[in-house]
A and B are shown apart, each in its own frame.
Chain A
Amino acid sequence: MTMKLDARIPDGPVEKKWDKHRFELKLVNPANKRKYDVLVVGTGLAGASAAASLAELGYNVKVFCIQDSPRRAHSIAAQGGINAAKNYPNDGDSVRRLFYDTVKGGDYRAREANVYRLAQVSNSIIDQCVAQGVPFARDHGGTLDNRSFGGAQVSRTFFARGQTGQQLLLGAYGALMRQAGKGAVKLLPRREMVELVVVDGVARGIVVRNLITGKLESHAGHAVLLCTGGYGNTFYLSTNANSCNVGAAWLAYKKGAGFANPCFTQIHPTCIPQSGEHQAKLTLMSESLRNDGRVWVPKNKGDRRAPGDIPEAERDYYLERKYPSFGNLVPRDVASRAAKQMIDEGRGVGRTGLAVYLDFADAIKRQGQAKIAEKYGNLFDMYHHLTAENPYQVPMRIYPAVHYAMGGLWVDYNLMTTIPGLFCLGEANFSDHGANRLGASALMQGLADGYFIIPYTVGGWFAGNKFPKVDESHPAFRAAEASAAGRVKRLLEVRGKRTPVSFHKELGRLLWNNCGMARNEKGLREALERIPAIREEFWKDVMVPGSGADFNQALERALRVADYLEFSELLVRDALERRESCGGHFREESQTPDNEAKRDDANFSHATVWEYAGEGKPPIQHREPLEFKDVVPSQRSYA
């Protein structure tokens, strides 16, 4: 069966689409809502907000997450802020401008209708979060404060110090726990989804592995919501938390869900550089720091003096020089590539030469240390803990790192994948950020999906369809359990000589070198040859001690690495097929004379959607053409 891509974009002018659609979606009678079971996988911003909102409406909700508590989902780590089109600073913002900035920031590779809706609901998110008690920063008059983020010339970012994700997630977690306390939500933490159950072409349940006992548990439902986050960890080193993975999305892909634009990965310009081979993750220093920090390198190659000894005249504030109208606040892809350029020129700083400076001296002189501490105190502390250097006194050293996945499961306007009944929300879907996400827009999207979109579209799905009775006794669940059990057994039986982590590291290095900040045909082809070889080696030589019927973290890791070893091939293939540069995807063959990304709208103005064709077979490529009626694509310029 070949895949059909129907984005179900409502007709009419872009600003009327969502209203019209909401009106046309069928409703479920309040008394009938409790007859529908919704399985929500993931408790980050997307999952927690969706689960709470659906339970408030009266649906029966079960929630799953890997962590020991829903509050620890990776969203907790988001730092800088969340965008909304409130226009409180009176600086010219509007729904249309947020929409415009997001489409342009994404380098014209996102679906207009979805992005417009995102901008439209953004203001309600702030209202909701404030009502929940999220302690956003405020002005002296008691009203909400804003800061600026990259890719925008207005101040539209709401923040709670440098821990905005934490506060937003705790708000959504509070709403979720309120429903759990009432018995409307059943919480199932320390569970990892290991199979999707599809009956007659419709998603009807999941199998999870209980991470404490190792038992496989089946759960049937009328809709499955994957809110399982991004796949940045495929690269081994990233700013993502340890448990972030691609597993659930990959299972769905193998069951028939289209995977869109996997090569669109975001490399964030400001992270703490790697200090050695032992390193397990990289730590982000929020983009918000570029409000007050100035990025620079020495003018002269190989200048090894301490930063304080390099006089003003011998410093190159290269972002301010190259992009005078956006300065330090150019979008991430642009800032990352510029840093790479400086480093390639031999002007990198620090022991390894793999860093640039982010300097707060001017801001501290202008505003005082106390003000800087109020805005970024926890980030400065984090930096200090990690590097033993005091950023109030010496400039931070920063370097780009893998951070975010714009690609993900393809979804239609209702956030439904190509498998009916399977929805995908938050970072796990591909929908709103095109080829490059603007800062502070992931939190916005996760909460938009969960609070304000899915409650309507899931209702429409229930009301518009009939559901034959399927419960956990259905044979499809036995088959799914057997397949998951088989995978666990195979892994335990290899008993080779290498650890799962060693394979993950090897894959990560290959991807970073050949499919990282700059990509070319030769490197990508080489990666396409190497990945299957690493995978084969993995299945021959991996060592997973212990048993499947137990708490076994080595096994958890091995299962995730097995997925990366398959998924990465799709990522690289997608990068190879997209023979243009756009956003975070930089093909060296396609650049402007001044080394900026050069899009090829004639040939690549589409989302590439991959369909699984079976083991060992090349995946089938589909395209969703992108039409731009409201934002006319142009060569992106931030100069």
Chain B
Amino acid sequence: MSQETTMDVTLRVWRQKGPDQPGRFETYAAKGVTPDMSFFEALDMVNEELVVKGEEPIAFDHDCREGICGTCALTINGQPHGPDRGATGCQLHLRAYKHGDTITVEPFRARAFPVIKDLCVDRSALDRIMAAGGFISVNTGSAPEANSIPVPKAKAEAAMDSAACIGCGACAASCPNASAMLFVSAKISQFALLPQGRAERERRALAMQKQMDREGFGNCSNEAECEATCPKDIKIANIARLNREFLRAVFCSNEKHPETDGQEE
């Protein structure tokens, strides 16, 4: 049951005016917070105090605040999304900390995620990877009767496990090589597991992988940091499946490595 004790913590926050400006840490006191409060509500509190003083609040991206939209992208004490396993930063509560703690907050760090301001980064690279092949090509209206495509329950469940990815980019932010393999492999796996996705599996694997390389994400060297960080517990077994799909596409199909020039911004 919820306690009503209060405590004080110190926030060390990355402030950066814009993409090309230098950044630095600033320190803020969050006084009288409660263990029930979410970490973001402590940031809100600090921001309210800054606004009253006419100072610019700390910019940070957030929307659903329940771990599903993938908008929040904070590195908390060095860990993307903070200390709780299987949770996003917005699900972190102050009960994870004690009176007097200092909490360091930075944006997600990855070459492909340039800083926009303070704690906000640009993750449009992930959208461009999806535009390259993260879909099943079926126009509205041309779908067959839903139950005409039976899917074994276990396959459907496994596809759902992969499909649970929220596209936050924490995998890339936690990877020493800033690789987005977990993100890409989750989508590839979802479709590889389902009969609907089979028709264009080769094209999809080649196109998404190629776009990922273009965006400046690194390669996977099996560090498995991504799996430990993923707020949705996406497994690195997906990466093994991606590798199989990729090899299959390169060696066993007539599919050309597609040119994905002219992608939309």
Instruction: Name A residues whose Cβ lies closer than 8 Å to a Cβ of B.
Output: 49, 52-53, 56, 67-72, 74, 76-77, 86, 88, 124, 126-133, 135-144, 160-161, 163, 166-167, 170, 173-175, 177-178, 180-181, 183, 185-187, 189, 212, 241-243, 275-276, 278-281, 283, 350-351, 374, 378, 381-382, 385-389, 451-452, 455, 495, 497-502, 543-546, 550-554
Residues of the B chain whose Cβ atoms lie less than 8 Å from the Cβ of A139: 153
Contact B56–A140 (Cβ < 8 Å): no
Task: Indicate if B9 sits at the interface (CB-CB under 8 A).
Answer: no
- Give the residues in chain A near B33, CB-CB below 8 Å: 278
Taking CB as reference atom, which chain B residue is nearest A56? Answer: B139
Q: Is the CB of A241 within 8 A of B127?
A: no
Task: Provide the B144-181 mask, 1 if CB < 8 A to any CB of A, else 0.
Answer: 11110111110011011001101100000000000000
Give CA–CA (A382, B66) in the complex, Å.
Answer: 7
Contacts of A166 in B (CB 8 A): 68, 164, 166
Could you pull out 6 A-B pairs where Cβ atoms are within 8 angstroms? Answer: A77-B69, A178-B131, A241-B69, A276-B36, A386-B66, A499-B48
Residue among A74, A76, A126, A186 with the most chain B CB within 10 A? A76
Task: Give the complex CA separation of A389 and B93 in angstroms.
Answer: 13
Instruction: For B163, give the chain A residue with the smallest CB separation.
Output: A135
The answer to whether B20 has its CB under 8 Å from any CB of chain A is no
Q: Is B57 an interface residue (CB 8 A)?
A: yes
Residues of B within 8 A of A185 (CB): 264
The segment out of B116-124, B221-229, B241-249 that lies at the interface is B116-124
CB of A500, distance to nearest CB on chain B (Å): 8
Q: Which residues of A contact B45 (CB under 8 A)?
A: 278
In whole angstroms, how far apart are the Cα atoms of A546 and B54 in the complex? Answer: 8
A143 → chain B closest CB, angstroms: 5
Taking the nearest CB of chain A, how far is it from the CB of B173, in angstroms? Answer: 15
CB <8 Å contact, A181 and B131: yes
Question: B156, A280: Cβ atoms under 8 Å?
Answer: no
A140 CB contacts on chain B under 8 angstroms: 153
Contact between chains at A173 and B40 (CB < 8 Å):
no
Q: Is the CB of A163 within 8 A of B68?
A: yes
Task: Please indicate the chain B residues that have their CB under 8 angstroms from the CB of A160 in the complex.
Answer: 160, 163
Flag if A161 contacts B160 (CB, 8 Å): yes
Q: Are B127 and A142 in contact (CB under 8 A)?
A: no
Among B67, B84, B132, B197, chain A packs the most CB atoms within 10 A around the CB of B67
Complex CA–CA separation, A635 to B63 (angstroms) = 40
A551 near B120 with CB under 8 A, answer yes
Contact A276 B160 (CB under 8 A): no
* A387 and B150 within 8 A (CB): no
Residue of B51, B54, B146 touching A127 (CB-CB under 8 A): B146
Residues of B within 8 A of A (CB-CB), count? 88
Q: Taking the nearest CB of chain A, how far is it from the CB of B62, in angstroms?
A: 6
Please indicate the chain A residues that have their CB under 8 angstroms from the CB of B70 in the complex. Answer: 69, 71-72, 76
Is the CB of B214 closer than 8 A to any CB of chain A?
no
* Pairwise interchain contact B153-A174, C-beta atoms closer than 8 A: no
A76 touches B64 (CB 8 A): yes
A522 to chain B, nearest CB (A): 33
Q: Across the interface, do B52 and A69 meet the contact criterion of CB distance under 8 Å?
A: no
Asked whether, in the complex, the Cβ of B146 is within 8 Å of the Cβ of A174, the reply is: no
Residue in B closest to A542 when the chains form the complex, CB atoms: B51
How far is B159's CA from A160's CA once the two chains are assembled, in angstroms?
11
Q: Is the CB of B34 within 8 A of A52?
A: no
With contacts A279-B41, A554-B51 taken as known, whether A128 is within 8 angstroms of B130 at the C-beta atoms is no
CA distance A280 to B45 in the complex (A): 10
| CB–CB A385/B196 < 8 A | no
* Residues of B close to A242: CB separation below 8 A: 62-65
A406 to chain B, nearest CB (A): 22
Q: Bound complex: CA of A52 vs CA of B142, how far in Å?
A: 14
For the complex, give the distance between the alpha carbons of A241 and B134 in Å.
25
The dominant DSSP class at the B interface is loop
**1/0 contact string of B178-196 vs chain A (CB within 8 Å):** 0000000000001100101
- A412–B64 Cα gap in the complex (Å)? 32
| Residue picked from A67, A278, A279, A388, most chain B C-beta under 10 Å | A278
- Which positions 37-76 of chain B face chain A at CB distance < 8 Å? 37-38, 40-41, 44-45, 47-48, 50-52, 54-57, 59, 61-71
* A502, B190: Cα distance in complex, Å: 44
**Contact between A130 and B149, CB atoms less than 8 A apart:** yes
Residues in B with CB closer than 8 Å to A126 are: 146
CB distance from B235 to the nearest CB of A (A): 15
B37: contacting residue among A173, A212, A278, A553, CB under 8 A: A278
Contact B66 A127 (CB under 8 A): no
Q: Which residue of B lies closest to A382 (CB)?
A: B66
Q: A278-B37, A385-B91 are in contact. Are A137 and B156 (CB under 8 A)?
A: yes
- Most B C-beta atoms less than 10 A away, residue of A68, A77, A86, A141: A68
By the criterion CB–CB under 8 Å, are A451 and B68 in contact?
Answer: no
B55, A278: Cβ atoms closer than 8 Å: no
Contact indicator A177/B153 (Cβ below 8 Å): no
Contact (Cβ within 8 A) A131 B138: yes
Please judge, given known A-B contacts A161-B160, A170-B163, A183-B264, whether A386 and B86 are in contact too, CB under 8 Å.
no
Q: Is B22 interfacial (CB 8 A cutoff)?
A: no
B140 contact set on A, CB distance < 8 A? 49, 52-53, 56, 128, 175, 451-452, 455
- Complex contact A546–B48 (CB within 8 A): no
* B68 proximity list for chain A (CB < 8 A): 76-77, 163, 166
B residues in contact with A128, CB < 8 Å: 138, 140-141, 143
| B263 partner residues in chain A, CB cutoff 8 A | 180-181
How far is A275 from B4 in the complex, measured between Cα atoms in Å?
A: 10
Contact of A178 among B135, B151, B152, B163 (CB under 8 A): B135
Cα distance, A185 to B123, chains bound together (Å)? 19
Q: Is the CB of B262 within 8 A of A174?
A: no
Q: Which residue from chain B places its CB closest to the CB of A551 in the assembled complex?
A: B117
Contacts of B41 in A (CB 8 A): 278-280
CB distance from B244 to the nearest CB of A (A): 19
Of the candidates B124, B152, B197, which one forms a contact with A189 in the assembled complex, judged by CB atoms under 8 Å apart?
A: B124
Q: Which residues of A lie under 8 Å from residue B163 when comparing CB positions?
A: 133, 135, 160, 167, 170
Residues on B with beta carbons closer than 8 Å to the beta carbon of A138: 150-153, 156
Distance to closest chain B CB from A483 (angstroms): 25
* Residues of chain B within 8 A of A124, CB atoms compared: 141, 143
- CA A451 to CA B61, docked complex, whole Å: 30
Tell me whether A180 and B131 are in contact in the complex, defined as CB-CB below 8 angstroms, given that A138-B151, A212-B116, A280-B40 are known contacts: yes
The answer to the question of B1 belonging to the interface, with a C-beta cut-off of 8 Å to chain A, is yes
Q: Which 5 A-B pairs have the closest CB atoms?
A: A142-B150, A174-B135, A131-B143, A181-B131, A127-B143
Also in contact, A163 and B164, with CB within 8 A (given A72-B69, A126-B146) = yes
Contact partner, B91, options A68, A132, A386, Cβ 8 Å: A386
Q: Is B236 an interface residue (CB 8 A)?
A: no
Known: A76-B68, A280-B41, A545-B57. 8 other contacts (CB 8 A): A56-B139, A68-B61, A69-B167, A133-B196, A241-B65, A381-B86, A382-B91, A451-B140
Residues B147 and A135 in contact, CB atoms below 8 Å apart: no
User: Distance in Å from the Cβ of A588 to the closest Cβ of chain B?
Assistant: 32
* Cβ–Cβ < 8 Å partners of A497 in chain B: 52
Interface contact B146-A74, CB-CB below 8 Å: no
CB-defined contacts of A501 to chain B, threshold 8 Å: 44, 48, 51
- CB of A456 to closest CB in B, whole Å: 11
Q: Which residues from chain A contact B196 at a C-beta distance below 8 Å?
A: 130-133
Chain B residues with Cβ below 8 Å from A175 are 135, 138, 140
- B92 CB → nearest A CB, Å: 8
B240 within 8 A of A: no
Q: Decide if A69 touches B123 in the complex (CB within 8 Å).
A: yes
Contact A142 B153 (CB under 8 A): yes
B63 to A243, Cβ gap below 8 A? Answer: yes
Render B76-118 as a binary contact track against A, CB cut-off 8 A, 1 for contact: 0000000010110001010100000000000000000000110
Q: How far is the CA of A124 from the CA of B163 in the complex (A)?
A: 22
Q: Does B136 contact A (CB under 8 A)?
A: yes
Task: Give the residue name and chain of the A residue nearest to B37 (CB).
Answer: A278
Whether A67 lies near B71 (C-beta < 8 A) is: yes
* B5 within 8 A of partner (CB): no
Report if A135-B194 is in contact (Cβ < 8 Å); known contacts: A52-B140, A241-B69, A279-B41: yes
